[in-house]
Amino acid sequence: MKALVAVKRVVDANVKVRVKPDNSGVDLTNVKMSINPFDEIAVEEAVRLKEKGTVTEIVVVSIGPKEAQEQIRSAMALGADRGILVEADDSQLGALEVAKILKGIVEQEKPELILLGKQAIDDDSNQVGQMLGALLGAGQGTFASVVKVEGTTVQVTREVDGGLQTVELNTPAIITTDLRLNEPRYAALPNIMKARKKPLDTKTPADFGVTSTTKLKTVKVEPPADRKAGVQVKSVDELVEKLKNEAKVI
Amino acid sequence: MSILVIAEHDNKALNGATLNVVAAAQKIGGDITVLVAGSGAQAVADEAAKVAGVSKVLLADNAAYANQLAENVAALVADLGKGYSHILAASTTSGKNVLPRAAALLDASMITDIVAVEGAKTFKRPIYAGNAIATVESAEDIVLATVRGTAFDAVAAEGGSAAVEAVADVKDAGISKFISEEIVKSERPELTAARIVVSGGRGVGSGENYHTVLDPLADKLGAAQGASRAAVDAGFVPNDMQVGQTGKIVAPDLYIAVGISGAIQHLAGMKDSKVIVAINKDEEAPINAVADYWLVGDLNTVVPELVSKL
């Protein structure tokens, strides 16, 4: 079966971002960018399914600036077979528009499995997979920690509040990955070299009939409220005394 | 304005998170209807009818909704939601699973995890793991949003007297089915609602040590227990105990972080706690920067001493 994996170019997970002084957004100039960590897990899962013989081809897609082809190449170095870059100003696109573009790609490529991260670590929306499921009328296995493909069905164990839930979906199915689904591998140098030669198509949102921009307007972006500086206590006695008499929380 | 709130429940009882969502709905203002979609969920509907500020309860009782499968519930929400100005759900795994799907069915954008209501269509929400707060304005006719429970004080569970109306509509997409679930049983308070949380990180060393050292402290304080991603990944405790950007968001009165260094992703889940205590052997640990009180020492001796002095 064919697998489609969506990856997003985001600020690296270890970077502490700063809000721009004019409150228009966060400052991303000269900041390290990477594949969204959850999407890396989605790529890894697709590659593992290919190694097991379940998946025959992995198509990786990214929607974003021209530079997002770096992330597509990274996914190819991990094992994806070919890539599609939908070049767009992703600040103008919300989750709904992204889902609509992905729907167009799915209709063209007809994958049986569609893997995405459960959320992007920049906007923290956690929406695209679910929206794509709705647009395609396909089942969704969100926050997946175990994926088992059996013929035309997929069993997905999901991380839910309180524990785990297992559901069975008919293919084509959408799977959004949680952190515990797998441990992504590192790309080996020869694979990085090979990835440069793999096919990469460039498209635009209009190719998939999507011309609208998001109806959510970001009015301003502010830093979170600062916490008052704390104090170091020297002993357990001092800690207990402070918690009882100063903070009055116990 | 008319607001539809999706109830969070397990077919037996209403989850407290719903009370926080109703509180957010009251800030928006308007008529509040609660939808209970479940199976054998009459008791939940009766409970929802008593919630302060709720004017109507819709009960969609059918086997198709028994396990909150998104494919079925979202179709119902999208259908019923057409007449409302707002559709709200809790930012729980269930709310996050269902609401975006309903939004796409309504061809509307959605706002995740609102922490403040600035106007009927303007909300604040954290982005970049809580390192920035965005004010977002929606131009959609129907505003859909999930609500971060810890940001809104729960409304009273009693005092209301809404009418319960049955919804006969059954949406069964037939593309997904529930197989099983494994719910972690605990005598302790629920993590996201607890007044005190005791969390352990990689520093506690092992699952055995997590329980030996932290259980007595949590017991003494009547606290819920949490963990950092490192502790979960190392298998010390189950993943539903993870606090952070991708786990649970908590804001208790007192958060005690033991053996947790304080990565950005962990801070995202707890830095709105009223008082933060860090117990760590590393003087340079980033957690100290957000802690109100921090104690540098070996958790294996400090924590038992703390238990004995409480």
**How many CA atoms does the CB half-sphere of A87 hold within 13 Å?**
8
pLDDT at A58: 98
Tell me the C-alpha distance between B228 and B39, whole Å.
35
What amino acid is encoded at B128 in this protein? Y
Residues A111/A132, Cβ–Cβ less than 8 Å:
no
Which chain A residues are Cβ-neighbours of B126 within 8 angstroms?
A: 124, 224
Per the DSSP assignment, residues forming a β-bridge with B196 are B254
Task: Tell me which chain B residues have a C-beta less than 8 angstroms from the C-beta of A137.
Answer: 173, 175
Residue A184 pLDDT > 90: yes
Domains along chain B with CATH numbers: 2-166 (3.40.50.620), 196-309 (3.40.50.1220)
Rounded average pLDDT over B151-160? 96
A33-42, pLDDT tens digit by residue?
999 999 999 9
Question: Cβ A126–B104 below 8 Å, yes or no?
Answer: no
Residue pair A136/A108 in contact (Cβ under 8 Å)? The answer is: no
CA neighbours closer than 13 Å in the CB half-sphere of residue A79: 21
Q: Mean pLDDT over residues B146-173, rounded?
A: 96
Q: How far apart are CA A154 and CA A147, in angstroms?
A: 7
The tokens of B221 are what?
Answer: 């304080």
Annotated binding site of B for FAD: 202, 228-229, 242-246, 259-266, 280
Per-residue pLDDT reduced to its tens digit, B87-106 = 999 999 999 999 999 999 99
**Nearest CA-CA partner of B116 in B135, B132, B131:** B135
B105: phi then psi, degrees, rounded to nearest 5: -65, -30
Q: Which domains occur in chain A, in start order?
A: 2-246 (3.40.50.620)
pLDDT of B99: 98
Q: Which of A175, A120, A225, A33 is nearest to B245 (CA)?
A: A120
- Taking only residues 175 to 214 of chain B, the set having a beta carbon closer than 8 angstroms to any beta carbon of chain A reads 175-184, 192, 196
Q: Residue A126: which of B109, B112, B138 has the nearest Cβ?
A: B112
- Contacting B residues, span 91-150, partner chain A, CB-CB under 8 Å: 92-94, 96-105, 107-113, 122, 126-140
- Averaged pLDDT for residues A111-115: 98
Confidence of residue A26 (pLDDT cuts 50, 70, 90): very high
What pTM, to 2 d.p., does this model score?
0.96
Distance to chain B for A32, nearest Cα, Å: 14
With beta carbons less than 8 A apart as the criterion, state whether B169 and B65 touch.
Answer: no
Q: What are phi and psi of A198, to 5 degrees?
A: -75, 150
Model pLDDT, residue A48: 98
Contact A174, A133 (CB under 8 A): yes
pLDDT digits (tens, 9 = 90+) for B175-230: 999 999 999 888 999 999 999 999 999 999 999 999 999 999 999 999 999 999 99
